[in-house]
Structure 1
Amino acid sequence: MTIPRHLDLDSVKVQAHDAFDRGALNEASLLFESLLLHRPDSISTHYMRGLVHKYLLDWPTSLHHNQRAIELNNEVDEAEHWNAAIAATALGQWDVARRLWTALGIGIDAGSGPIEDDFGVAVVRLNPWHAGETVWVRRIDPVRARVLNVPTPESGHRFGDIVLHDGASTGTRLNADGRDTPVFNELARMQQSEFQTFVVFVSCDEPADLRSLLDATLPGIGYAEDWTRSLVNYCLRCSYGVAHRHREPEKGAWQPDRNLGIAAQSRLSVETLLKNWSAAAPGRQWAGIETREVQAPELQEGGVWWREPEDDEST
């Protein structure tokens, strides 16, 4: 797409921003590219094209335009540096990312290669362009984090995955201490965990029985999580075709039937865990072990998933 000389470049700029605001990223990219043919040293246009390609997950193009904006700018602009560092991280250009973080005054340990530090706990919205399941994570650098929860198989993610996330938060969650914790959008999975997700259905008479299972350790077991209260959109057992009867507890009463997500290296590890647990006390039963390997939904153009949702209901 090229712009006839008689057209008002400012009106084209408005069209480009409008396309971006509508989520028409490919259209916006072409318009910003055309603007750069006429204004090749425009800092804001280089920045915007880099931003568009960040949300297209096109890391080489995003890095190029953000770096060009940095070169043209006499001042350190946080947005340009953050987006360039995100793109460099996605590409594994660790020296470039480290240099950009340092320019922003972010403390990075000396060295080369991937950053392995502790930047605190946060929440990441997986596949924000799709269902947007949220999980707790431990940030190991400014934009990379290790998943701490057991995500549902349908998310295409696993406990222990390393994900790349955006730099701007899109909301907050209350942590266990009642403090606001930022929520970031995932941009890509950088490293898949060795732990598969197994969906397990158990029954037990007391909360202490469940706690015993969740706290149990065994080789090959990464983490066990009670999904019973956190996944409330549908009956998980019905969705997996596990035969059972619905037992509706009284309000405030203990619910014996529990749905668990267990991160493990093998089905045998999960079976051993459940057999040991059920044999240790009466009233402990398990009805099935299910697993599904699902590909994460691909990015599709449309919508403005990078903005804070108005009504954010997490799983």
Structure 2
Amino acid sequence: MSRVQLSGAEAMELLQRGENAADDLDWPVVAACYEEFLTAFPDTPISPELWFDAALANKFLRNWQKAYELGRQAALRAGEPAGSPAWWNLGIAATMVGDWGTAREAWTNYGVPLSPGEGEIEDGFGSALVRLDPDGEAEVVWVRRICPTRARILSVPYGRRRFGEIVVHDGAPTGERRVEDHTFPVFDELALWRESPTATWLAQVTAPAPRDMTALADAFDDAGLAMEPVDSLTFHCTCCPRGPLTAGTTVLAGARDILLAAPDEQTATKILTGWAVPGTGRAWHAIHAKA
């Protein structure tokens, strides 16, 4: 940032405008006001907080380069790094711009243990759920976290996302799911990190018993793919903190529509045909690409 000259009255007006805009969640105005103030006053007693708020506003705007640049300044002024949200948000922004050295430094300073190495982080951070498109369809899917902010989709999403895609999620959980005695956090998606070539297909199958549907799920899993019965999706009201749409794990028997993750129709039909062993009552038909 190049220095600009601001009078005391102008500086106070910028701060007030920025504060009012933050109350209204008007992030473009927040970012503009605080950035202008910081070009003139980068190191006042209140500047560390404003560096953080300016970086945060750009994070909400998905302006990752700016969030990264401002986030570096915020982190350097944050004081004790352990548990500091400035270092966490810098980790997210550095991940989005591909600066793995800074991302590793940010997570380490925050207090997240990482496996030794350089470059892209791909560790095991366990299973969780991510709310895709949180301001829209808000579909909640199972994921495998590969770093503090990225996760690979394990479900077959009903919406526009695909199995195998990697998404970036926010740091603080916004809900949870209980599966038997285990509780899993639900994070909100921030952005798509990497697309998946695996298409989504819709088919109809007949499974005489629950174990037959389980066998079909296992067949896709063995191929590194996935299957979801459409009627296992559970809808919740949009005001419910548990999320309006989740992929379930029910394995009922009978004729059902299913979502399939496969790179092409030939792969999907090969797995379906191998599952539908003659004499078992298993059957499938009417496969087509999901619109």
Q: Give the TM bin, normalised by the shorter chain.
A: 0.7 to 0.9
- SS of the aligned residue for 1:137 comes to strand
2:246: which partner in 1?
Answer: none
1:108: which partner in 2?
Answer: 114
Deviations 1:171-210 (A, max 9, x none): 1111x33332211111122122232111222233322332
2:184: which partner in 1?
Answer: 181
CA distance in 2, matches of 1:56, 1:151: 25
Work out whether residues 87 and 107 of structure 2, in 8 Å CA contact, stay in contact via their aligned partners in 1. Answer: yes
1:26: which partner in 2?
Answer: 28
1:47: which partner in 2?
Answer: 52
Deviations 1:218-268 (A, max 9, x none): 9866111223121559xxxxxxxxxxxxxxxxxxxx662312111112101
Alignment of 1:89-128 (within 5 A): 89-128=95-134
CA distance in 1, matches of 2:226, 2:257: 14
The answer on 1:58 being equivalent to 2:63 is: yes
Structure 1 residues 27 and 214, CA gap change in structure 2 (3 angstroms): same
Paired-residue identity, %: 33
1:73: which partner in 2?
Answer: 78
CA distance in 2, matches of 1:290, 1:44: 53
CA distance in 1, matches of 2:114, 2:100: 12
Deviations 1:108-164 (A, max 9, x none): 121101112111111111122321111111111111111111112x32x21111111
Structure 1 residues 280 and 15, CA gap change in structure 2 (3 angstroms): farther
2:217: which partner in 1?
Answer: 214
**Structure 1, unpaired ranges of 5+:** 234-253, 294-315
More RCO (CA 8 Å, sep 6+)? 1
Alignment partner for residue 276 of structure 1, among 266, 274, 277?
Answer: 274
CA distance in 2, matches of 1:166, 1:29: 19
- SS of the aligned residue for 1:141 comes to coil
Structure 1 residues 43 and 4, CA gap change in structure 2 (3 angstroms): closer
| TM norm structure 2 | 0.82
Amino acid at match of 1:163: V
Work out whether residues 66 and 83 of structure 1, in 8 Å CA contact, stay in contact via their aligned partners in 2. Answer: yes
Q: CA deviation at 1:70?
A: 2.1
The CA RMSD over aligned residues, in Å, is: 2.6
CA distance in 1, matches of 2:13, 2:194: 43
| TM norm structure 1 | 0.76
Work out whether residues 220 and 266 of structure 1, in 8 Å CA contact, stay in contact via their aligned partners in 2. Answer: no
Aligned residues: 269
**Structure 2, unpaired ranges of 5+:** 237-251
Q: CA deviation at 1:167?
A: 1.1
